[in-house]
Every structure is written in C-alpha cells, then in structure tokens.
C-alpha cells in the first residue's frame, strides 16, 4: 500500500473511537481516509462519515481499526482478515484467548497489527527477547478502585476496595489470567505478553488506589541480556476512566505508521 491512500473503517464510537475518527476525518493522518463507522447503536448525524455494518465496511475499506472492545476481536477478527482487509487491534486483551491469537496470526490474506496503547517500551522488549528469553517480567497496574470493580468480586473484596485509604492489591496472576478478569482495564498485560512472546511469563499485579489521580503501569524485566524498567503515568479518560487519555493517540500513531508517514519510530 506504499504511496496509496488507506481506506479506513472504524469499529466503535466511544472514548477511543471518537478521538481517532475525528482526527481521521479532519485529515490529521496523511495517507489515511475515514470511510465508515461501525457501532451497535444508531449514531445519526453525529458522525462525520456514514455508519455501516461490518460487512459494508469490509466491502469499502482496506484497513479496519478496532476501538470497541475484546468482543469485536473475537467475533469479527478472523473474518476481517479472511476478507483481505487489514486489522489494527486496540483491545489486545483478546489475545489471552490462545486459540483466537493463533487464528488471527495465521489468518489472511489481511494482516493483523496491534497498538501498544497506554504503555511504552514494547519495541525494546521484543528486541531483547530476540536475544533469548527473559528470566523475569513483571507488570504492576494501578488504577482508581471504581474502575476496577468487576461482577465476579465478592463483597469482602469490594468492601476493601471501596473503603481503602491506600493501595490494595485486587489480583495477582499471569498475563493469561488477569485480562480475562478485567476485560476493560488490563489490555496492557496482554500487550506486554505479546512483546515477550509468552502469556505465562508475565506476572501481573492489579492495584486499586483511591489516590491514583493517574493510571500507572510499571514494567520490570530482567535476564542475561540486562535489566529494564519502564513506568508510565497517564490521566484517565474523562468519559471512560477505565482507559487512559493517551490510548486513541497511540492508535493514531499506529495508523500513521501503516499509512506510511515518514519519520515514524518503528
């Protein structure tokens, strides 16, 4: 597609989709044109381009951007790729389903891409792991308690979170286990696992902190190659505190790279 205009279909018109769609419609990503928006709600005239079904988007676009959650990746990911359309995934937590992950990576002729979302350093971790496996990889994610409440939590845990005056660890597990329990809050865990190539190698701690004005992610990794530590602190999105304000801009950066913008760090 080098030198060609990427015709983009956007799935999801929420906190992420509105920013991504608005920037595309305003021509802020050279080489990428927003063609249609897919959403399970009638959007009327609030969107800058026609609302479409997934099937209509596949007939009109060569790149689909998922900005609507893991369910979309599970239901439509393989079909999108089989149609010959490329797919950019924001909800990397869907990759904790190993069968789905294998299916997406093996599907085609469309190509699947993943955005790093709210965390950095993934490119370096991939480079390091090319030298050999890391001995230890840890991720600690800290968010406001209200953004971490889940239907599976018992009353004791909910009470501890709601009455906390300091940080409370609400779950510890691998990158395979944790995103399943927090489908809207721990895509970062799956992204780190994608970078190191092993869901079970990444140990994840999810922390609720009533003083967490910023959402934080701390990645620590070590091995024979060296030791690495990345920490990011983001403002939560005002419309959807479960995600960080930076996420749609990470999607736009990935789109710019796919559209061939020069000067991108790859």
pLDDT of 210-245, one tens digit each? Answer: 999 899 999 999 999 999 999 999 888 887 777 778
Whether the per-residue pLDDT at 3 is higher than 70: the answer is: no
Instruction: Give me the residue spans of the domains in the chain.
Output: 6-117+246-258, 122-234
* pLDDT score of 266: 65
Q: pLDDT tens, 144-191?
A: 999 899 999 999 999 999 999 999 999 999 998 998 898 877 788 989
Task: Give 54's pLDDT tier (boundaries 50, 70, 90).
Answer: very high
Task: Give 106's pLDDT tier (boundaries 50, 70, 90).
Answer: confident
Give me the residue label for tokens 């406001």.
Answer: 144
- Right CATH number for 6-117+246-258 from 3.40.50.720, 1.10.10.10, 3.40.1410.10, 2.60.120.460? 3.40.50.720
Whether the per-residue pLDDT at 2 is higher than 50: the answer is: no
- The pTM score is 0.86
Write the CATH number of the domain with boundaries 122-234: 3.30.360.10
Tell me, rounded to whole angstroms, the distance of Cα 221 from its chain centroid.
21
Average pLDDT for residues 49-71, to the nearest whole number? Answer: 94
Task: Give 101's pLDDT tier (boundaries 50, 70, 90).
Answer: confident
What residues form DSSP beta bridges with 207?
142, 169
- The span from the CA of 258 to the CA of 266, in Å, is 10
* pLDDT score of 86: 96
- The span from the CA of 20 to the CA of 249, in Å, is 7
Cβ-based neighbours of 74, under 8 Å, separated by 6 or more: 94, 97, 100
Task: Give 260's pLDDT tier (boundaries 50, 70, 90).
Answer: confident
* pLDDT score of 240: 78
What residues form DSSP beta bridges with 87?
64, 112
């Amino acid at each position: 597609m080098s030198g060609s205009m990427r015709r983009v279909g956007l799935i999801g018109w929420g906190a992420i989709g509105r920013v991504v769609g608005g920037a595309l419609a305003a021509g802020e990503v050279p080489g990428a044109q927003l063609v249609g928006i897919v959403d399970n709600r009638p959007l009327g005239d609030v969107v800058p381009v026609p609302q479409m079904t997934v099937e209509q988007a596949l007939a009109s676009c060569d790149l689909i951007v998922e900005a609507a959650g893991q369910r979309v990746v599970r239901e439509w990911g393989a079909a999108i790729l089989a149609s010959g359309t490329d797919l950019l995934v924001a909800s990397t937590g869907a990759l904790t389903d190993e069968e789905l992950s294998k299916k997406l990576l093996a599907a085609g002729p469309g190509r699947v891409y993943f955005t790093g979302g709210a965390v950095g350093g993934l490119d370096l971790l991939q480079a390091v792991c090319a030298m050999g496996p890391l001995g230890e990889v840890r991720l600690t994610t800290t968010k406001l308690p209200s953004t971490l409440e889940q239907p599976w939590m018992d009353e004791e845990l909910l009470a501890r979170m709601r009455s906390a005056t300091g940080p409370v660890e609400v779950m510890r597990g691998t990158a395979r286990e944790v995103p399943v329990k927090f489908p809207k809050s721990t895509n970062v865990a799956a992204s780190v696992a994608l970078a190191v190539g092993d869901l079970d190698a990444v140990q994840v701690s999810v922390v609720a902190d009533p003083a967490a004005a910023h959402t934080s992610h701390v990645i620590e990794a070590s091995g024979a190659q060296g030791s690495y530590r990345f920490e990011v602190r983001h403002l939560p999105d005002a419309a959807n505190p479960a995600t960080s304000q930076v996420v749609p801009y990470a999607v736009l950066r990935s789109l710019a790279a796919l559209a061939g913008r020069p000067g991108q760090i790859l």
